[in-house]
Structure 1
Amino acid sequence: MDNTDKDDASFSVPTVATQAVLVKSTSMPDNATIIKGPDFNQNHSLNDLLKNYSRIGFQATSVGQAINRNWRLSDDPILPDESDDYKLPAVRSSTKCKIFLGYTSNLVSSGLREIFRFLVQHSLVDVVVTTAGGVEEDFIKCLGPTYLGDFHLPGAQLRKQGINRIGNLLVPNENYCKFEDWVVPILDRLLEEQQSE
């Protein structure tokens, strides 16, 4: 997509920027871990939920790796110490305080997206506060998967491969291109409507 305005000669996108953004993504390895949080609409045991942490991304992946290490060291069950009453969504949803959930776009890129969806779907939060990027990343995850990487992967090398790194998450350029192909025609129509009024 050409971002230059034909009538404005003073604006041009640097070639190096265009080349970096439009690099074709290399294929992700067959064994790449796809980022996905738990679906709380499914019945999960505590073990199922804890096993899923390693696929959420960001610090949750590190927590998941720590959990897996602890499981290797001990077969002792984890005993809940909270009253069962407070574990029921109906009890939590009947509290008289207003619950705000705030998050940035990078958290939507991670497996926490599915947790946020569950909280909203089941009215466990009253207000959601996020960035425009939070909405954008939600659409992008609908169009293509995010993969588990590593915080220490070299950004310059990934850039040459058309892969974007968000912390320890990897997003192929194609995901952003799919989003742009979907949203730009909508924005163009909105601009036409605005200019015709």
Structure 2
Amino acid sequence: MSSQALKDIAAVLLEPTISALENVIPVQGPNFENGLSLQDLLRSYERIGFQATSFGRAVEIVNRMRKWRSSEEPVAVNGSGEAGPHDKAQTRCTVFLGYTSNLMSSGLREILLYLVKHKHVSVIVTTAGGIEEDFIKCFGDTYLGDFHLSGLELRKKVIQRIGNLVIPNTNYCKFEKWLTPIMDAMLEEQKASGKVWSPSTMIHRMGKEINNEESVYYWAYKNNIPVFCPAITDGAIGDVVYMHSFRNPGLIIDIARDIRMLNELSRNSKKAGMIILGGGVCKHQIANSMVVRGGADYAVYINTGQEYDGSDSGARPDEAVSWGKISPTGDSVKVFADATLVLPLLVAATFAQEDT
């Protein structure tokens, strides 16, 4: 055998130097031999590998987020508008929660309600569907269907499909009937007092009017948690706004007030954390608000988006660092997964531990 061949073989058989890598731990899965509690199972995720390990990292970051306390003198942050932020000492991390409309349509609504009811989050950013689907469920159920149901047959039956969920169109009609007189009253107040409405103050008013403890936004109203919806007309709410503009024109909804309020909430936070479920408007609006403070301190993304097409929805946290949306010293992770699979486990391993 030639000397070159011996060198080639020797290169293949080089001794590994694992010790040269930092923070190396062995891969290990859960052991079911003696039974596992839910918390033991969730703690085992961080050593499984792949997205399980990313989930374990998300648990760690959310726990840091929720347990952080300021060692400095508290500073009061005074908001403006009816749906302003908590006027109290800002000694805890401000948790910005974002989610897409399909998640409110799903059974995650009850988990989102839990987070808002118990004040585990400070600020919400979502889409029009993320608002209306909560209220619509107060008027009628959403049902489990199938991804393969015929769109044509559903259309004939006046039923809409969201993935493998179905909703009777009558639920949307009930929502329109409920929202229209609220908008009439908003317009009267605008004319009488010059009140300027924004999406967040409109949602605050809707949460008050629904007066239903099964509503996420009822609890946002009760707990004075601001809810921002930059694309509030992109859904059934927009349909009602459109029809209302003919029947009773003149209502103004000012989005400029909300972007100032959202950015100021970010700027005045001693620590800021992002938990963002899905992509699109809710993801970028929260992340972009972090630029004014030099980036978020904590960030957890949960979505199935990919980055190869350059979309913000699929972008990983490191891209946000380049824009100043996440601090270079911040803790961040992206879990590539459907939020309906991951969020229940994440909340069980984090926020729910405060209430047990």
Residue 104 of structure 1 and its aligned partner are, at CA, apart by: 1.4
Paired residue secondary structure (1:125): coil
Letter in 1 for 2:144: L
Code of the aligned partner of 1:93 = R
Deviations 1:119-160 (A, max 9, x none): 122232232111232121111011110000111111111011
Residue 180 to residue 90, structure 1, CA distance change in 2 (3 Å) = same
Match of 2:125 in 1: 129
Does the 8 Å CA contact 1:105/1:133 hold for their aligned counterparts?
yes
What amino acid maps onto 2:146 in structure 1? D
Q: Shift of the alpha carbon at 1:196? A: 5.6
What TM-score does the superposition give when structure 1 sets the normalisation length?
0.52
Encode CA deviations 1:13-51: one digit per residue, 9 max, x unaligned.
Answer: xxxxxxxxxxxxxxxxxxxxxxxxxxxxxxxxxxxxxxx
Report the Cα distance in structure 1 between the residues aligned to 2:184 and 2:67, rounded to whole angstroms.
44
> Match for 1:94 among 67, 91, 105?
67
1:145 & 1:132 partners in 2: Cα distance?
Answer: 19
Gapped runs of 5+ residues in structure 2?
Answer: 1-31, 45-58, 70-92, 194-356
Sequence identity percentage: 58
Q: Tell me what 1:11 maps to.
A: none
Q: Which residue of 2 aligns with 1:105?
A: 101
Give the aligned partner of residue 119 of structure 1.
115
Higher normalized strand content (fraction of residues): 2
Amino acid at match of 2:131: V
C-alpha distance in structure 1 between counterparts of 2:158 and 2:151, whole Å: 10
Partners of 1:151 and 1:168 within 8 A in 2: yes
The answer on whether the counterparts of 2:65 and 2:95 sit within 8 Å (CA) in structure 1 is no
| Count of residue correspondences | 121
Tell me: higher relative CO, structure 1 or 2? Use CA pairs within 8 A at least 6 residues apart: 1
* 1:140 partner amino acid: I
Among 166, 185, 188, which residue is 2:184 paired with?
A: 188
TM-score for the superposition, normalised by structure 2: 0.30
> Match for 2:136: what amino acid?
I
> Where do 1:41-56 residues align within 5 Å?
none
Contact 1:105/1:131 (8 A) holds in 2: yes
Question: What aligned pairs does 1:23-42 form with structure 2 within 5 A after superposition?
Answer: none
Cα RMSD over matched residues?
3.2
For residues 99 and 191 of structure 1, do their structure 2 counterparts lie closer, same or farther at Cα, with a shift above 3 Å needed? closer
Which of structures 1 and 2 has the bigger CA Rg? 2
Contact kept, 8 Å, 2:143 with 2:165, in 1: the verdict is yes
Q: 1:139 to 1:195 in 2, by over 3 A?
A: same
1:125–1:75 Cα change, 3 Å: same
Superposed, which structure 2 residues align to 1:56-67 within 5 Å? none
Verify the 8 A CA contact 1:163 1:172 in the aligned structure 2: yes
Quote the residue 1:156 is aligned against: 152
- Alignment of 1:168 onto 2:167: no
Q: Tell me if structure 1 keeps the 8 A contact 2:105–2:142.
A: yes
2: CA distance, partners of 1:191 / 1:161? 35
**Partners of 2:66 and 2:124 in 1: how far apart?**
15
The 1:151–1:75 alpha-carbon spacing in structure 2 relative to 1, beyond 3 Å, is farther
The structure-2 alpha-carbon separation of the partners of 1:124 and 1:155, relative to structure 1 and needing over 3 Å to count, comes to same
CA contact (8 A) 1:99 1:127 kept: yes
For the Cα contact (< 8 Å) 2:104–2:130, is it kept in 1?
Answer: yes
CA distance in 2 between counterparts of 1:91 and 1:190 reads 41
Structure 1, gaps ≥5 residues long: 1-73
- 1:139-154 map, 5 Å: 139-154=135-150
Whether the 8 Å contact between 1:92 and 1:124 is mirrored in structure 2 is no
Native 8 Å contact 1:149 1:170 kept in 2: yes
